[in-house]
């Protein structure tokens, strides 16, 4: 696998160099250089260095006591050829997870781009979407044609260990992908992509593991058609995934799986191999005062993709989202409706159905005053599909959420006042079905929230802000009250080259609940927060910053854990 990756990288580099040489030769025989306005040489980029320290008393460390992180990006252009290098290094390296340090080099010439190093790209929603690959990437986009190739290592081997705590082992994993098509994302297009990923069974030897090496191949057609000057858009994509849960399982014939025989060049079906599908379709209408979106998504039970991380499967969803605008767009009313369900194959004891509906109204009363209000309804229903005792009881949960948010901005004599208010109400009702249930028949919860914030900005560079919040929750046998206030100030000096900031906050939490014997148990917690920051612009390209944050949690009544945290961070950044 490593030899194949090296060969692929060399091949991509040779292709790129050959293309560059041909372009130079063609340029010498044409008037391209005389007609084009290209810079002979230019550079740009940024470099940052940060160091942080952390300490805590009363609880276990939330992060490493010390960390150094460096990030560098360099971009340069030579006679129209653009290239770049990016590096991200952190001392917070851990064997408990995959490596987060990154390095990449990229080069581009007109419609051709090449990248080597750590890449995170997207081919489709269910195929390659989010997986980090350390290797090579090639993109060719002449006109409306598109070709993308990627290949490299997507996971390093992580061995289990009891010396450093819990560690999820992982095999070394190599991945490859390709995407071809015609069109543009802003217009009509058709793309076809494929992604292949395979664990290296020999990357972890001599250890009994709780995981099995896996293999995955996906194929994703993706298209979009736009009509009537873009007012109507139809888009859809689907992914077929062949997933092998255990490469150590025995091989089977292609006749045992719905897989085309020509895939035998790339994939060997096994007894643990399964074929599943996922897809979505969307239809959008956009007019002057009205827009409408229709959507449908279905992910088959058991669908998995090594290029997309965790995907919720066994779900079907339809959605509707109309929006109306009037009064010269000063008023916008947007609504949404969605309904989803699982148990698509009907082989589970229960089926869950989720229905959501909501509306949002935005009203710009004038240039200073605006009002935003929203309402959301969520209805969840769990229904047993059989009379079997393992099916359990049904459950219905209904929630209503109403929010009101006015905002006032006053600007006078270079002084800006900003006043914001928030009021909200949330109610949740849960009901359990079935006779003889030992569970509570019905559960009710009411939550009231409120908030007010005010800020003022003065021409001298001084800014002051105040924010307060309140929350009260009443539910069966439980009452929660939260109060909080936060004060902040910032000041810019020396022609705004030095910026200072200070922030402090106090929050109180009180919980009262009734125990099984009827006794009331009270808990009161107090938390103090403080933060200070300073930023100095030494030159137009050099900036220093310092941040200090502290948090103290006290138990005033009842049970809980008291702790104090202190964190500091220094950073230097240069742009060039």
The partner residues of 74 in beta bridges, in order of sequence, read: 45, 85
The partner residues of 388 in beta bridges, in order of sequence, read: none
Report how far apart, in Å, the C-alpha atoms of 297 and of each of 32, 319, 550 are.
49, 9, 45
**What is the mean pLDDT of the segment spanning 530-544?**
93
Q: How confident is the model at residue 277 (pLDDT cuts 50, 70, 90)?
A: very high
Contact assessment for residue 410 and residue 368, using Cβ atoms and an 8 Å cutoff: yes
Q: How confident is the model at residue 65 (pLDDT cuts 50, 70, 90)?
A: confident
Ranges 10-14, 123-127, 292-296: which has the least confidence? 10-14
Contact assessment for residue 295 and residue 303, using Cβ atoms and an 8 Å cutoff: no
Residue ranges of domains in the chain: 111-308
Ranges 60-69, 70-79, 298-307: which has the least confidence? 70-79
Q: Is it the case that residue 99 has pLDDT exceeding 60?
A: no
Strand positions, DSSP E, 267-349 = 273-286, 290-299, 315-326, 331-341
What is the gyration radius of the CA atoms in the chain, in angstroms?
Answer: 29
What is the distance between the alpha carbons of residues 427 and 447, in angstroms, rounded to a whole number? 6
More confident residue, 385 or 17: 385
What's the pTM? Answer: 0.77
Q: Which residue has the tokens 């010396």?
A: 163
Structure tokens at 524: 């009161």
The partner residues of 572 in beta bridges, in order of sequence, read: 49, 544
Q: How confident is the model at residue 290 (pLDDT cuts 50, 70, 90)?
A: very high
Q: How many Cβ atoms are within 10 Å of 431's Cβ, its own excluded?
A: 14
- pLDDT of res. 207: 67
Q: How confident is the model at residue 93 (pLDDT cuts 50, 70, 90)?
A: low
- pLDDT of res. 45: 84
- Give the residue ranges of DSSP H helices in 193-273: none
Q: State residue 261 phi and psi, 5-degree precision.
A: -65, -30
Q: Is it the case that residue 195 has pLDDT exceeding 90?
A: yes
Q: How confident is the model at residue 185 (pLDDT cuts 50, 70, 90)?
A: confident
- pLDDT of res. 14: 41
What is the distance between the alpha carbons of residues 403 and 397, in angstroms, rounded to a whole number? 20
304 in helix, strand or coil? coil
**What is the mean pLDDT of the segment spanning 338-356?**
92
Contact assessment for residue 113 and residue 138, using Cβ atoms and an 8 Å cutoff: yes
- Give the residue ranges of DSSP H helices in 37-191: none
Contact assessment for residue 430 and residue 443, using Cβ atoms and an 8 Å cutoff: yes
- pLDDT of res. 40: 63
Q: How confident is the model at residue 313 (pLDDT cuts 50, 70, 90)?
A: very high
In the chain, count H helices and then E strands: 2, 26
Q: How confident is the model at residue 358 (pLDDT cuts 50, 70, 90)?
A: very high
- pLDDT of res. 156: 86
Nearest residue to 542 (alpha-carbon basis) of 575, 510, 499 = 575
The partner residues of 543 in beta bridges, in order of sequence, read: 537, 573
- pLDDT of res. 20: 43
- pLDDT of res. 392: 62
The partner residues of 194 in beta bridges, in order of sequence, read: 178, 219
What is the distance between the alpha carbons of residues 198 and 176, in angstroms, rounded to a whole number? 9
Each residue of 369-412: pLDDT tens digit? Answer: 999 999 999 999 998 876 665 556 788 999 999 999 999 999 88
**What is the mean pLDDT of the segment spanning 338-348?**
91
Q: Which of 60-69, 398-407, 433-442 is modeled with the greatest confidence?
A: 398-407
Report how far Cα 441 is from the mean position of its chain's Cα atoms: 38
558 in helix, strand or coil? coil
Contact assessment for residue 458 and residue 431, using Cβ atoms and an 8 Å cutoff: no
Looking at residue 489, the DSSP 8-state letter turns out to be E
Residues near 131 by beta carbon (within 8 Å), at least 6 away in sequence: 120, 154, 175, 197, 306, 307, 308, 309
Nearest residue to 275 (alpha-carbon basis) of 248, 251, 256 = 256
More confident residue, 71 or 84: 71
Instruction: Provide the mean pLDDT of the chain.
Output: 84
**Burial per residue of 160-179, b for 16 or more beta-carbon CB atoms within 10 angstroms, e otherwise:** beeeeeebeebbbbbbbbbb
């Amino acid at each position: 696998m490593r030899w194949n990756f090296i060969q692929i990288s060399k091949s991509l580099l040779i292709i790129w160099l050959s293309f560059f040489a041909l372009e130079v030769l063609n340029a010498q025989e044409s008037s391209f250089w005389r007609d084009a306005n290209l810079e002979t040489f230019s550079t740009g980029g940024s470099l940052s260095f940060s160091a942080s320290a952390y300490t805590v008393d009363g609880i276990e460390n939330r992060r490493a006591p010390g960390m150094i992180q460096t990030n560098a990006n360099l971009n340069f252009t030579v006679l129209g050829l653009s290239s770049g290098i990016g590096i991200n290094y952190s001392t917070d390296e851990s064997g408990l997870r995959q490596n987060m340090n990154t390095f990449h080099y990229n080069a581009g010439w007109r419609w051709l781009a090449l990248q080597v190093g750590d890449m995170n790209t997207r081919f489709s929603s269910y195929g390659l979407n989010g997986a980090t690959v350390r290797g090579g990437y090639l993109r060719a986009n002449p006109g409306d044609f598109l070709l993308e190739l990627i290949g490299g290592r997507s996971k390093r081997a992580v061995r289990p260990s009891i010396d450093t705590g819990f560690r999820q082992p992982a095999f070394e994993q190599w991945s490859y992908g390709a995407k071809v098509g015609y069109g543009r994302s802003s217009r009509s297009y058709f793309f076809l992509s494929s992604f292949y990923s395979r664990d290296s069974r020999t990357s972890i030897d001599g250890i009994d593991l709780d995981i099995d090496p896996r293999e995955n191949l996906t194929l994703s057609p993706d298209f979009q058609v736009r009509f009537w000057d873009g007012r109507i858009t139809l888009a859809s994509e689907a992914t077929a995934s062949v997933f092998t849960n255990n490469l150590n399982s025995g091989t089977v014939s292609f006749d045992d799986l719905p897989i085309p025989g020509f895939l035998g060049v790339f994939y060997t079906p096994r007894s643990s191999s399964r074929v599943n599908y996922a897809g979505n379709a969307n239809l959008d209408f956009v007019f002057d005062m009205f827009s409408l979106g229709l959507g449908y998504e279905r992910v088959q039970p058991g669908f998995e993709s090594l290029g997309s991380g965790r995907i919720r499967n066994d779900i079907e969803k339809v959605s509707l989202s109309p929006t109306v605008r009037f009064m010269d767009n000063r008023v916008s009313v947007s609504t949404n409706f969605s309904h989803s369900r699982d148990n698509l194959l009907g082989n589970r004891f229960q089926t869950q159905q989720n229905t959501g509906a909501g509306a949002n109204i935005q009203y710009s009363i004038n240039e200073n005053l605006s009002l935003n209000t929203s309402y959301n309804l969520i209805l969840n229903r769990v229904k047993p599909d059989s009379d079997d005792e393992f099916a359990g009881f049904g459950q219905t949960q209904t929630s209503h959420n109403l929010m009101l948010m006015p905002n006032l901005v006053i600007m006078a004599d270079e002084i800006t006042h900003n006043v914001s208010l928030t009021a909200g109400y949330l109610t949740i009702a849960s009901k359990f079905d079935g006779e003889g249930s030992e569970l509570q028949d019905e559960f009710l919860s009411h939550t009231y929230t409120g908030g007010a914030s005010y800020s003022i900005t003065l021409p001298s560079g001084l800014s002051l802000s105040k924010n307060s919040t309140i929350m009260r929750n009443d539910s069966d046998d439980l009452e929660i009250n939260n109060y909080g206030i936060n004060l902040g100030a910032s000041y810019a000096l020396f022609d705004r080259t030095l910026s200072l900031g200070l922030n402090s906050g106090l929050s109180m939490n009180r919980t009262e609940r009734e125990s099984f014997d009827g006794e009331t148990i009270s808990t009161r917690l107090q938390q103090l927060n403080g933060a200070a920051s300073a930023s100095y612009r030494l030159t137009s390209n050099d900036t220093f910053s310092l941040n200090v944050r502290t948090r103290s949690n006290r138990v005033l009544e009842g049970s809980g854990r008291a702790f104090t945290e202190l964190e500091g961070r220094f950073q230097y950044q240069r742009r060039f």
